[in-house]
Chain A
Amino acid sequence: MKRFRRHAGLWVWCYAMLFPVLAIYAYVRIYPIGRSVQLSFFDWKLMARVRPFIGWDNYTRMLGDENFHIAIWNTFVYSLATVLLSTVIALPLAVLLARRGRASAVYQTIYFLPVITPLVPMSIAWKWIYDYNYGILNYALSFVGIPPIAWLTDPHIALWALVIMGVWKVLGYNLVIFLVGIRNIPAPYIEAASLDGASDLQTFWHVTMPLLRPIVLYVLVTSTINAFNVFTQVYVMTLGSQAAPGQAVRVLVYDIYQNAFQYFRMGYASAEAVTLTLIVLGFTLIQFRAFRQREAA
């Protein structure tokens, strides 16, 4: 009985400590997450007095909505391209850096800089880089004889302009994670390969890559999840003169933002938000699986 009392006292102390933190979680995360599922089944408009339950109507409307199709397609293309490009570029760079000591730290710092810079100012800077008339990118390309490109205003290219900026932003993050992975590979593996007469390229393909596979998978999934939430760049690049046409770069979060906060169709936008959550959850499950494999290995 005495022991129980001591335990119970400790428990009360724990709950008392946790209560304020968990209360914030309940109010700003758990409740809104639940509520967004609920809203997605209502015709919920901010200004309307009546907000009837409409079952799956928001979802069926969404599936037939051309804007949603465009948004989903663009988000997939953007994510796939950004993730693949940034991985394919970061991997060999990490291999090159792994062997260098002091110089590696300098390169790492430079490559990592974009990761911590805020997105709004950098998006504005990139919009200026992409400027058709005076942008530095078109100037740089003129040296290789490439005529000026309408990076943002050409609807076929605008999304790719976003991809380039996206790669620039996440490359350093992927690089650092790969670098840690490579440095964790026991040296004897690499030495054995080179003693057996393998070239650097062969060592990379047959020794480094297989050992790095779980980390590559991890990077692929986390950066896909991050890429799916792309919004700020799109918002900035479609703003003002010489901007990207909205349809060409419409992504999922942008569509949610517009429906909810420009047309005030909160119920419909919530259906899209739930879809976004489900997609991200799907990727997360893949990641948990991969992690379990990694621990088992």
Chain B
Amino acid sequence: MTNAQRRLLRSRITSVLIHGVLSLGALFMLLPMVWMVATSFKLPGEIAVWPPHLLPQQPTWANYSGLFEAAPFLRFFGNSVFIAVASTASCVVTSMIAGAVFAKYRFPGRGVLFMLVLATAIVPFEAYMIPLYIELVRIHWINTYQAIILPTLVMSFGIFLVRQHVASAIPDELMEAARVDGASESWTFRRVLVPLSGNAIAAVGIFAFIQAWAAFIWPLLVANNQLLFNMEVGLTAFQFRFSADYGKLMAGSTLSTVPMLIVFLLLRRRIIENMALTGIKG
């Protein structure tokens, strides 16, 4: 064997080893989801067996139909969609307005107000949910949709994202041109700033949706009536009652996870890039 051949062989072996390590890791990452989906299609007799089958041998929809009979999961799912859509709509609008104003206008108090918006994101929600709960008891909002959605109406990260985008991607001259033509500020905002912020708005929408969909501790506190449960709270309530019925539990878990998987696979690049570039959540 010549030296060149030896080097080639060595690099081949290294490459195979590297892919081996990476694939093993990938398997570990995928396993929980595969195991969840696979179990959701198994009959009880196939769930409690040793050795376990990774994939169902007689796939069945029984767990899914049984799930909707055992608890109003259709309602939970609808609630999750409604809560996530409402929160996303609000986050998009509020982030667009505040982000653009902070980016393109100078007025007294601008810096302080912007800092305040960012600073509240540092404090974890779990640290101030108690007073918020007390306040909602006072105004009789417990067990209402408003209460569930309220803390997710705004997103500091969204305001930050829009501000960055508008400040760097939209030239002042465009706005000046509109003003010279006699346009009002509101017109300039609607016709110049908003149409040019599509990317930032999309990013804010995606993050708001993912976050609102997975919301758990707050809905757990303020939604005590099961008609208001989202998927997450509904699942834990169901788990509490039927903790051993893993077929149905996995069916419910799959239903709650699949929408996020679809969102992710469709918008994969955008999500990963935005998360990596800004590196901020909340």
**A28 in the interface, Cβ–Cβ < 8 Å?**
yes
- A121, B40: Cα distance in complex, Å: 12
From 119 to 170 in chain A, residues with beta carbon under 8 angstroms from any chain B beta carbon are 119-122, 124-126, 128-129, 131, 133-136, 139, 142, 168
Shortest CB-to-CB span from B157 to chain A, Å, is 12
A-facing residues in B215-240 (Cβ within 8 Å): 216-217, 220-221, 231-232, 235-236, 239-240
Name B32's contact: one of A13, A115, A129, A232 (CB within 8 Å). A129
Give the shortest distance, in Å, between B91 (CB) and chain A (any CB): 11
Min distance, Cβ B146 to any Cβ of chain A, angstroms: 11
Chain B: CB-nearest residue to A229 = B124
Residue among A13, A21, A168, A173 with the highest chain B CB neighbour number at 10 A? A21
Closest to A273 in B: B127
Chain B contacts for A93, CB-based, 8 A: 21-22, 25
Nearest opposing residue in chain A for B271, CB measure: A116
- Looking at A190-198, A201-209, A275-283, the stretch in contact with chain B turns out to be A275-283
With A25-B117, A136-B52, A172-B29 known as contacts, the answer to whether A128 contacts B257 (CB < 8 A) is no
Interface size class of A (residues with CB under 8 A): 35 or more
Residues of B within 8 A of A (CB-CB), count: 92
Q: Which of A10, A124, A180, A231 contacts B126 (CB 8 A)?
A: A231
Which one, B97, B116, B137, B272, contacts A25 given CB within 8 A? Answer: B116
Q: Are A276 and B33 in contact (CB under 8 A)?
A: no
Tell me if B143 counts as interface (CB < 8 A to partner A).
no
In the complex, A71 has a CB within 8 A of chain B: no
User: Looking at the complex, which of A59-67, A78-86, A102-110 is the stretch in contact with chain B?
Assistant: A102-110
Report which of B97, B137, B244, B257 forms a contact with A117, defined as CB distance below 8 A. B257
Chain A 34-55 near chain B by CB (<8 Å), digits 1 or 0:
0110010000001000000000
A36:B249 contact, CB within 8 angstroms: no
CB-based nearest B residue for A121: B253
Inter-chain contacts of A109 with B (CB < 8 A): 265, 268, 272
Which chain A residues numbered 236 to 288 have a C-beta less than 8 Å away from chain B?
A: 236, 239-243, 253, 256-257, 260-261, 266, 269-270, 273-274, 276-277, 280-281, 284
Q: Which of B98, B120, B128 contacts A21 (CB 8 A)?
A: B98
Inter-subunit contact B113/A280 (CB<8 Å): no
Do residues B217 and A232 form an inter-chain contact, with CB atoms below 8 A?
yes
Chain A positions within 8 Å of B235 at CB level: 120-121, 124
Report if B154 contacts A (CB, 8 A): yes
Check if B63 is an interface residue, CB within 8 A of chain A. no
Known A33-B120, A116-B210, A173-B275: A20·B94 in contact at CB below 8 Å:
yes
Is B276 on the interface with A (CB-CB < 8 A)?
A: yes
Q: Are A110 and B26 in contact (CB under 8 A)?
A: yes
**Which residues of B (107-166) have their CB < 8 Å from a CB of A?**
107-108, 110, 113, 116-117, 120, 122-124, 126-135, 137, 150-151, 153-154, 159
A280–B125 Cα gap in the complex (Å)?
Answer: 12
Asked if B52 and A124 sit within 8 Å, CB to CB, the answer is: no
**Cβ of A15 under 8 Å from chain B:** yes
Decide: B29 and A113 in contact? CB cutoff 8 A.
yes
Report the minimum CB–CB distance from B7 to chain A (whole Å).
14
Contact of A17 with B257 at beta-carbon distance under 8 Å, contacts A125-B250, A276-B124 already known: no
| Residue A199 CB within 8 A of the other chain | no
Please, could you name 11 A-B residue pairs with CB atoms under 8 Å apart, sorted by A? A24-B154, A25-B120, A93-B22, A112-B268, A112-B272, A118-B231, A131-B246, A179-B276, A231-B216, A232-B217, A241-B244
Residues of A within 8 A of B (CB): 10-11, 13-15, 17-18, 20-22, 24-25, 28-33, 35-36, 39, 46, 89, 93, 96-97, 103, 107-122, 124-126, 128-129, 131, 133-136, 139, 142, 168, 171-173, 176-177, 179-180, 218, 222, 225-226, 228-229, 231-232, 235-236, 239-243, 253, 256-257, 260-261, 266, 269-270, 273-274, 276-277, 280-281, 284
For the complex of A and B, the 3 pairs showing the least CB-CB separation, nearest first, are A240-B243, A121-B253, A35-B131
